[in-house]
Amino acid sequence: MLGRIFTVGGYTLLSRLTGFARDIMLAAILGAGPVADAFFVALRLPNHFRAIFAEGAFNAAWVPAYAHVHGEKGEGAAHLFADRIFTLLLASQVVLLVVAWLFMPQAMSLLAPGFSDDAEQRRLAIELTRITFPYLLLITLVTLYGGMLNVMQRFASAAAASIFLNVAMMMTLALAAWFPTAGHAAAWGVLISGFMQYFLLAGDLARHGGLPRFAPLKLDEDVRGFFKALGPATLGSMGTQVALFADTIIATFLPAGALSALYYADRLNQLPIGVIGIAIGTVLLPEMSKRITANDHDGAMKAQRRAFDFTLLFSIPFVAAFLTVPDEIMRALFARGAFSKADAVAAGGTLAAYAIGLIPFVLIRSAVATFYARKDTATPVRASLTGIAVNVALKVALMGSLAQIGLALATAVGVWTNLLLVLFFAVRRGFLVLDRAWLLSLAKFLLTGIVLAAAFWLIARFGGSALRTMRFHDEVMLVLLAAGGTMVYALAILILFGRSWLVSLVRG
């Protein structure tokens, strides 16, 4: 399991690094003005649907169902099941695409009502979203193929696919002079990347398992079971996305640049979520599904506990950095070209607010795996809907005084609510045991985080004065923070946990 986690995490890290290069280009070329805000709305709409229906709900229902059919009934039955789901999926996505193209002005009135006062920005947002929306159809098929490959213990191509999004956008941004606006260049890059990701996954699956084909629709027991799980999973996956939808809607009423500050802060926040949380959750779900199908419930629980420990071990440094030195990070990465230092400060405050909820963001996918692996997609919905209610209520309350920082803070409180309820339900059902050893481990992680945060603050305070006259001082400061933080964190882990704990964690 550890090897597969590092495979997924490694490719995801490469994706995030190329993503930073892409965002540096976006910041320098688009800045944080009206065209940038229009493009980020165009990017968010298909991404919201992708996160809800593709990588979120569909993956949560598809992987356990396909693993169960594959393990219980054999490869032939699994292929027939995949053919039927592929047929239904493709038909539904084509219908959604046609409806979205036809009713995009009405959808934009709901998604970005604040653009109604600026006819040109609204027109641009509609035009760009029509370009990006077909990306959803392609990524939904990528998710189907990726889930099949994951059950076969092949994780590399699915993890690497998102790299193409960054590469394609950088290529089109480099040719921005040939497009009506830089926003058009970025939007076409999104669509081109969808085709690149599709052909990568389709090629891998064709070589190792065979691509799904069109099949006569038949609602047999397996298909009915899949849709029975898909409905609640869709509601469960909507939690974070409804929060981000609300962010987008409310931010369109805030001053120009609020949407851009949310975007760049969220991009950094997504680094540990993708490299750690999603990577570990992606590997954990088929692992737990396979163990539970084999009646190895103790092994499934042990796998989940190890996933929690790995997640916290790798996430604590990000939380400490984002809370204590967010401005330094934003200035070093993005403050150049059209993106000013004032924009970096606005995005830095937003990043610090998001960081309050980073731990539940990275843990939630591993936490709900214990339910999804048992084909129980309904229980996490109760936690998710409660988190949504808390989140949206706080957004409305905080948007006036804290602007986009209030939106990010509300998201953090909402995801904490979601995670704590999921853990409560898991413990009550006997799927998770929070014994004294694990609670002690949590206390040690908290202490290491405090020590590391203090180290970051000291490095930034004293190093900032020494480097102020140096050229590229922001970039040098970021390197110092990374190097100093790594040494302090490694030492704190060895002192508090000991070498034997690390060895046992790796060996299982």
Is 214 found in the same domain as 270? no
Q: Is residue 242 domain-resident?
A: no
Model confidence over 202-213: pLDDT tens digits? Answer: 999 998 877 888
pLDDT at 468: 67
Cα–Cα distance, 234 to 51 (Å, whole number): 10
Residue entry with tokens 């029975």: 228
pLDDT band at 7 (very low <50, low <70, confident <90, very high): confident
d(CA 244, CA 300): 32
> CA dist 370 to 233, 307, 350, 425, 430, Å?
13, 11, 32, 11, 10
Report residue 434: phi and psi, to 5°. -95, 80
Is 397 domain-assigned?
Answer: yes
235 vs 106, residue with greater confidence: 106
Q: Tell me, what's the pLDDT at 272?
A: 87
Average pLDDT over every residue of 459-478: 77
Residue-wise burial string across 117-150, b where 16 or more C-beta atoms lie within 10 A, e elsewhere = ebeebbebbbbbbebbbbbbbbbbbbbbbbbbbb
Residue 145: closest CA among 73, 208, 226, 70: 208
Does residue 56 have a pLDDT over 70?
Answer: no
Provide the sign of the torsion angle of the four alpha carbons 281, 283, 286, 288, taken in this order.
negative
**Dist CA 378 CA 411 (whole Å):** 22
Question: Is residue 489 assigned to a domain?
Answer: no
C-alpha–C-alpha distance, residues 138 and 142, integer Å: 6
Query: What is the rounded average pLDDT of the residues 343-364?
Result: 90
Terminal C-alpha separation, the chain:
9
Residues 350, 317, single domain; the answer is yes
Cα 128 to Cα 52, 172, 188, 190, 191: the distances in Å are: 21, 14, 8, 10, 11
* Residues, the chain: 508
- Phi and psi at 433, nearest 5°, equal -120, 115
Average pLDDT in the 333-354 region?
82
pLDDT tens digits along 298-315: 877 888 888 888 889 999
Domain annotation covers residue 141: yes
Q: Is there a single domain that holds both residue 298 and residue 360?
A: yes
Residues 228 and 269 in one domain: no
Q: Which tops the pLDDT comparison, 401 or 330?
A: 330
Higher pLDDT, 464 or 495: 495
Structural domain contains residue 126: yes
Mean pLDDT of 1-12: 74
pTM for this prediction:
0.71
Task: Please say if the pLDDT value at position 241 is more than 70.
Answer: no
**Domain annotation covers residue 463:** no
Q: Judge whether residue 54 has pLDDT over 60.
A: no
Q: How many domains does the structure of the chain reveal? A: 2
pLDDT tens digits, 172-184: 999 988 998 889 9
Average pLDDT, the chain: 83
pLDDT for 371 equals 86
pLDDT (average), residues 19-26: 84
Q: Which of 42-46, 164-168, 207-211, 256-260 has the lowest mean pLDDT?
A: 256-260
> Can you say how many angstroms the Cα of residue 243 is from the centroid of all Cα atoms in its chain?
13
Which of 148-157, 403-412, 466-475 has the highest mean predicted lDDT (pLDDT)? 403-412
Q: CA 500, CA 496: separation in Å to the nearest integer?
A: 11
Domain-terminating residue out of 399, 433, 467: 433
State the Rg of the chain over Cα.
Answer: 22
**pLDDT at position 53:** 58
Q: Is the pLDDT of residue 223 over 70?
A: yes
Question: Among 433, 465, 496, where does a domain finish?
Answer: 433
Find the range with the poorest average confidence among 349-353, 386-390, 453-457, 482-486. 386-390
Is 458 part of a structural domain of the chain? no
Residue 453 resides in a domain: no
**282 and 231 assigned to the same domain:** no
Residue 5 structure tokens:
């986690």
Do 48 and 192 fall within a single domain?
A: yes
For 69-95, how does the pLDDT look when each residue is reduced to its tens digit (9 = 90+)? 877 788 888 888 889 889 988 998 899
Single-letter amino acid code for the residue at 490 = A
If asked whether residues 225 and 172 sit together in one domain, one would say yes
Same domain, 231 and 259: no
Residue 200 gets which letter from DSSP?
H
Question: For the segment 439-453, what is each residue's pLDDT rounded down to a tens digit?
Answer: 888 999 999 999 999
Query: Has residue 396 got a pLDDT over 90?
Result: no
Range of the domain at 304: 254-433
408-419 per-position pLDDT tens digit: 899 899 999 999
Domain boundary residue, one of 382, 410, 433: 433
